[in-house]
Every structure is written in structure tokens, then in C-alpha cells.
Amino acid sequence: MNCRVMLKSVFRCLRTNPVAGHRSMSQSSLAGKVAIVTASTDGIGLAAAQALGKRGAHVVVSSRWQTNVDKAVALLQSQSIQVTGTTCNVGKGEDREKLVQMTLEKCGGIDILVSNAAVNPFFGNIMESTEEVWDKILSVNVKASFLMTKLVVPHMAKRGGGNVVFVSSVAGYQPMQALGPYSVSKTALLGLTRALAPELAQDNIRVNCVAPGVIKTRFSSALWQNEDIMDDFKRQLSIKRVGEPEEIGGVIAFLCSEEASYITGETITVTGGIGCRL
């Protein structure tokens, strides 16, 4: 077969089987799956719920405030996404249990947990941080992430497996100035991912993590609205702009899909090119 005939055969294959030339995540790749996304009424959490929902998952969104839940549910429903919403403060054990129980009652099971909830009540010199600050940050950002996982794992195992995705931060690799305790909590999530992955693999549950860079959300507005901070960040960036929540949501959806079936215990950094290494 000469080169010209070979090329014709290749192009004919691409026309009749476009997947061979362009592999994309199916819009129904998560059909039948149930996904809990914590802190999911705006920012990265909402973007994750949208990405999962657009791929067919029934998403369960939550926030501490009912008005935020109502707005998010209305938005997702307007996008033809199956959604259930409830209030939840993940720092409270009774709220975590209520979230899981409501999901089981209304959706019949749990396949995916995206642990996105985080707090940062402190901004300043780390040596000025108090015990109360550390207790609050570690309780919500780390301990609640583990305890939510512990609650959902038995229900994932009953359905033959599942996916857990923790949302860390570039600060977990390189602590940000004035965000010392928060940065430490995000480093802890990298370790939690590695610790859980081998234990949960036996139940066909994959555990991964996403570490976003500076993303244009309300939570990180103190960073991206500060020109001096952003000028310093942009010097480290290959892609010279702030990231968008949807760029994180898509990575989370990928990690929960069959396309990522051989990935566990990993952290994907989505930073615009900032070097990330512990």
C-alpha cells in the first residue's frame, strides 16, 4: 500500500469513527451515578457540580445557607441537570450524617464524593495565628474531609466502587504568604489522598486530589483582586491569567470518569504552569 492510499484509509476511518480522531468525555459518561459535592453553591464546588451533572450524574449540592442552596439548585435545573440540594456545615458531625442520609433516601446510593469545603479565618504572620485558628482550619479542611469519606465509603462499596476527590491548592505545595495555617491544611490533603488510596482500592474506590492555582472565585478574591500579589504570581505562570472555576470542574469530572480508571492516589495540579513539588 503506497502512502497516498494509506492516508485515504486513515481519513476514511476518521470520518466513519470520529472517536478515533477525537476522544472526548461522553456527555452521559456518569449516567446513573450519584455525586455529593460539598460547598457547592458557587466557585469551584458549583463548577464541579455542573461538570458532573452535564455528564449525567445526579448531583447533591450543599451550603451552610438555604438561600445559596436554592439559587444553585435553580441554576443547575435550568441546565437540565438532576440535582438535590440541602444545607450542610461539614464541620458538624450531625450535618455530615444528615447530608449522607438525605442522599441515600432521595437518590438511592452514593458513587462520588467531591470534598471541596474549606475555611480560612486567618490572614497574617503564621506566628500570630492562634490555637482557635488552627482548630477551625484543620477541623473543616482536613478532619471533615476524612470523616465525610468515612461516611460514604460503605455506601460506595455496596454499589461496587466509587470515587473520592479532595480539593487541595497550589498552597499545599508552596505555602502562600499570610496563609500559613490554610496552606498547611492543604498539604495535609495531599497526604490524606496517598494514605486512603491503597486502603480503598480493595473496594474499587479511587481516591484522588486536585490542587488548583489562583482561580477566579469569591473565596480567593483577596488574591486575584490584589495587583501586587497577582504580579508576583504571573511571573511564575506559563499561562498568564487567573484560572476559571470550570477549568477545575472539568478535571474533577475526568477523575470521576472511566477515562481515569487507572488513576488513584494522585494529585493533579491545575495551576497555569506554576511548578509544584514537595
36's enclosing H/E stretch is strand 34-37
Establish if 277 belongs to a structural domain.
no
Return d(Cα 227, Cα 278) in angstroms, integer.
27
Over the stretch 6-35, which tens digit does the pLDDT of each residue have?
Answer: 545 544 544 544 444 344 456 679 999 999
Closest by CA to 203, choosing from 115, 111, 106, 114, is 111
Query: At residue 269, does pLDDT exceed 80?
Result: yes
Q: Domain with 196 in it: what CATH number?
A: 3.40.50.720
| pLDDT tens sequence across 73-89 | 999 999 999 999 999 99
Active site residues: 182
Per-residue pLDDT, 236: 80
* Number of domains observed in the structure of the chain: 1
Decide if 25 is inside a domain: no
**Alpha carbon distance 40, 43 (integer Å):** 7
pLDDT the model gives residue 219: 65
Burial 13-49, CB ≥16 within 10 A → b, else e:
eeeeeeeeeeeebeeebbeebbbbbbbbbbbbbbbbb
Q: Which whole-number Å values give the CA distances from 187 to 182, 195, 197, 198, 212, in the listed order?
A: 9, 13, 16, 19, 13
Residue 232 binned pLDDT confidence (cut-offs 50, 70, 90): confident
pTM of the model: 0.88
Q: In angstroms, rounded to a whole number, what is the distance separating the alpha carbons of residues 274 and 265? A: 21
In a domain, 24, yes or no: no
Rounded CA-CA distance 271/276 in Å is 9
pLDDT of residue 26: 60
Q: What is the pLDDT of residues 134-162, one digit of tens each?
A: 999 999 999 999 999 999 999 999 999 99
Handedness of CA 193, 194, 195, 200 (dihedral sign): positive
Is residue 241 one of the residues assigned to a domain? yes
Q: 249 near 48, Cβ under 8 Å? A: yes
Structural domain span for residue 42: 34-270
Query: Quick check: is 10 in a domain?
Result: no
Is residue 160 situated within a structural domain?
yes
Task: Answer whether residue 206 shows pLDDT above 80.
Answer: yes
Q: pLDDT > 90: what percent of the chain?
A: 75
All residues at 6 or more sequence positions from 13 whose CB lies less than 8 Å from its CB, including other chains:
20
In a domain, 1, yes or no: no
In a domain, residue 199? The reply is yes
Higher pLDDT among residues 12 and 216, named by residue: 216
